[in-house]
Homo-oligomer: A and B are copies of this chain.
């Protein structure tokens, strides 16, 4: 337990210290709270792949810092070597995880920063890229606060809000998307409580969402993923709020595996199903959910948790990390530009037209 922030200090998922990126190791929370340090793009890519950092917006920020680190490491190199090295950094980061669009969005933005500054001396480019990474992270927090304010208005006082996975401060640069809505509701004086799906196999709900809420004294009840339907059928859930890794042009929502089952059950019970979704998570180039790549991860995540392996030897395994919730099941997208009820192709397109 070192460098643990005080109860009143916001969680800093990523931070820039002495020329390096530091990220909370989310694989070992809440048993251990510790930062790992990164100097190069390839290290950051491995951190993303291994889920030291996870959550679509946080992955985007990490990738941006990965490019900034690589530029910094190469700032004394000749321009050709710098360019070749940076290109490799972009490639290795883009290959780290396939589903969350924020990763590609952030890399595209960093490439834009590079292109705009390519006439400058290499050290200046490196400085500009670091500034761009800082701006992406700062902007993420501003956007989460804007979504939080819009989303909080949707929750009645006393609401019991079910969430799946962790779309909290740990999934972003701060405040969170789905949990940002909860935090903003609490800041607005509402009494809300959280029901956290444990979210197998990586247990983001049991480990991360529960930890964030306990730290801030927001009431939180942990359930296994298969209990959500039972609670809904007993009238114990007033709303669902989740984050997302990619929203297609038609409003289909890719999010952590299990989100689809929650959405179907919420629909059956007339419970609103909200998706906290910064515009950077909407991918207009993907027509619908069927075209979103779904990452399949290693079998040992499903046969146990970490070193504790319990499944029968010899069993085959499936491990899709995400699923797609069709737009028809989404009550509203909560964005930094406002709440989009019954999202569809036309209304989503309009979000980008002003």
Contact = CB atoms under 8 A, between A and B. Distances in A.
Contacts of A213: 315
Contact of A230 (B207, B210, B222, B320): B320
Interface string A204-232: 00110011011000011111111111110
A30 interface: yes
Interface string A284-328: 000000000000000000110100101111111111100110000
Interface string A254-292: 000110110011001000000000000000000000000
B305 A305 contact: yes
Interface residues of A, number: 55
Given A227-B258, A311-B198, A324 B233 contact: yes
A239 B302 CA distance: 22
Contact of A258 (B196, B226, B303): B226
Contacts of A220: 315-316
A40 interface: no
A226 B178 CA distance: 19
A318 B226 contact: no
A31 interface: yes
5 contacts: A31-B310, A207-B312, A221-B317, A222-B302, A223-B319
Please name the 4 residue pairs, one residue from A and one from B, whose CB atoms are nearest each other, closest first: A226-B258, A211-B312, A210-B312, A200-B224
